[in-house]
Structure 1
Amino acid sequence: MAGSSLPRRALGRTLRNYRTRAGYKQSDAGAVLETSPQSVSRMEDGQRIKISTAQIKVLLDFYGMSEPNSERDEILSLWAEVRRHDQIAKAQGTGRGWWRSYSDQLDGHFDHYLSLEAAANRLTSHQLSLIPGLLQTTEYRRGLIQASELDLSAVNIERRLEFAARRRARLDEDDFWLDALLSEAVLRHHPGGPSVMADQLRWLAEVSEHMSVTVRVVPFNVDVNSGLLFHSFTLLEFPPVTSRSVEPPVVYLEGYEGALYLDQADSITRFRRAITSIERVALSENASRDLVWRIAKECTG
């Protein structure tokens, strides 16, 4: 889904549902649109393809949604939102996503994640070992980069740090919220050394006073909770696309060799339950901030 926008993703998902309900294959839809099944697949995955309003209407007729029809109106409303979104992106020069200029520095799967992160208005990040990417200081990030890629050139290191700094700008947006649920282990690791970690922890404590960022720590001495059964993950939630269309959340799990994206309702339910369980044993925001400050002082001796 690289290059997808939230309205385009909602449109594709809805069209897929209606095609499946009508009993047609992607090749059938492709024949109607005079395009390939691969193009239909890309459209349903939320990717950009060349298609007109007239073709959308022909496709809806084919799916049995002739006028007047509320479902047809929903699709056309989504399509209008896609076109509006594209026009704004073109005017702002952001149509391809600002991070694409750093594609040579990113893992292939991360483009998909960044598209979702750019569209999300709320992230809940549960981390077992590292500070979430959006909350990492420059020197903390430098320590991680140098530890993972020993032969990376100084130029490429600086490009990655520049990318991380641009990504952090999301924290300044009024309509964006980040909830971080951190194992105490996250605060005890020292990428870059104790002084770097002390600065990272001080900044984490300061940013947690930001109205759009909450940080809660799960201390080592709490009772067993279901969060221990889950690896690090991020739940991304999205604003309504239109008055009648709400885009479902996505859970992102990153591994060393790739990533997994889950949006099935039962998966989302399991991860929401895990979040509730973790929140039940996590320290309050104020107690978490006190712990972060205390460990920062320990790092400086």
Structure 2
Amino acid sequence: MAATDPNESLFVRPLGAVEKNPTALKVILGGKLRELRVAAGLDPADVDGRLGFSRSKTSRIELGRHGCKNADALALLGLYGVDGEERIAEFLRLVEQSHRPDWWRSFNDVLSDFFTPLVALEGAAERIRTYEPFYVPGLLQIPEYTTAVITNGPEHLLSHDVMRRVELRQERQRHLDEPDAPHLWTVLDESVLLRTVGGPEVMRAQLKHLIAMMERPRVSLQIAPLDVSAAVGVGTGVTYLRFALGGLKDAVYIEHLTDSTFTQKPQTVEQYRNMLDRLGACALTPAESRAMLEKRLDAY
């Protein structure tokens, strides 16, 4: 494949938060390699054979499931006809960054396999949209509230494991403090405000925290009255991730009692996006939601 401009970037820039997210980089690099392979008129088996790769290695790299080594990247770019020192150097720089350990790997002792995709990619999202029917969403929980939720959950955990899960949730929240933090938009079911999780003192502190977070320009919170959430018929917690770059498909994380579904299938993602749109349109405005939070706070 002949490049029209050998010094032109292969990527849409800037990459922003994605560059600090090794998992997201692997997915983007893999997607770009797939794009280059298709343009070169090759299929994965052809590439595996020509470069002496093990079976399905090319496919695993393209899916972001297999880290791409520098030597492999150079071989692939050469096979696909990519030239230009700047292009190749930029690609290799991103490959190097994708080799860094993800921050969440230090929590592998308490991080469930079904929860990993959300934790791995939410920090790279441009926008996070959530609906929560039972609890305050994890990104907006105070530690005491998180402790109560985990302690009262279906699992019987040691105090150390509870503490570690609380720490994990706090680390996830740090993304909201970054200069390129994602926009967090959440719809909270009114019933969440009626449940006293962790006792009155914890709930007071949690409600104050929600009100304070609403002051942030990148945080939006709406309350869905009981009749609204019943009419829309969501029934479970949903997190929608939207990425600024075409190399990362939008994703939906759907919570169940003991597991979850994480999917990037366009049809499923679109269904949940439409559902969140309907919820947002029917829910109270942010100003009305703040008034409800303050009223509930006064009741404690």
Q: Does the alignment reach a TM-score above 0.5?
A: yes
What amino acid sits opposite 1:184 in the alignment?
Answer: E
Q: Is the 8 A contact 1:205 1:289 kept in 2?
A: yes
Using the TM superposition, give the Cα deviation of residue 286 of structure 1 relative to its aligned residue in structure 2, in angstroms. 1.0
Counterpart for residue 235 of structure 1:
240
Give the deviation of 1:230 after TM superposition: 5.7
Partners of 1:102 and 1:279 lie apart in 2 by 33
When the two structures are aligned, how many residues end up with a matched partner?
276
Which residue is 2:6 aligned to?
none
3-state secondary structure, aligned to 1:231: coil
2:214 is matched with 208
Q: Tell me the CA shift for residue 199 of structure 1.
A: 1.5
Task: State how far apart, in whole Å, the 2-side matches of 1:275 and 1:41 are.
Answer: 33
Q: Is the 8 A contact 1:216 1:284 kept in 2?
A: yes
In the TM superposition, what whole-angstrom CA distance separates every residue of 1:34-88 from its partner, at most 9, and x where no partner exists? 122342232122131335343112442xxxxx468xxxx9xx95x7555334545
1:54 matched to 2:70: no
Distance in structure 2 (CA, Å) of the matches to 1:247 and 1:201: 34
| Residues 1:154 and 1:121: Cα distance change in structure 2 (over 3 Å) | same
SS in 1 for 2:262: strand
Tell me, in whole angstroms, the C-alpha distance in 2 between the residues paired with 1:27 and 1:191: 54
Secondary structure in structure 2 of the residue aligned to 1:252: strand
Match of 1:63 in 2: none
Secondary structure class of the residue paired with 1:84: helix
| One-letter amino acid matched to 1:205 | I
Letter in 1 for 2:60: R
CA contact (8 A) 1:174 1:212 kept: no
Question: What is aligned with 1:32?
Answer: 50
Q: Root-mean-square deviation (CA), in Å?
A: 2.9
Which among 173, 176, 182 is matched to residue 178 of structure 2?
Answer: 173
Q: What's the TM-score, normalizing by structure 2?
A: 0.80
The gaps in structure 2 that reach 5 residues or longer are 1-20
TM-score in terms of structure 1 length? 0.80
Percent of residue pairs identical = 28
Contact 2:134 2:189 in 1 (8 A): yes
1:193-224 CA-partner distances (Å, limit 9, x unpaired): 23222211111111111111111011124486
Segment drifting more, 147-156 vs 106-115: 147-156
Match in the other structure for 1:290: 291
**How far off is 1:259 after superposition?**
2.5
Q: Which runs of 5+ in 1 are unaligned?
A: 61-65
Cα distance in 1, alignment partners of residues 101 and 145 from structure 2? 29
Please state whether the residue corresponding to 1:169 is helix, strand or coil: helix
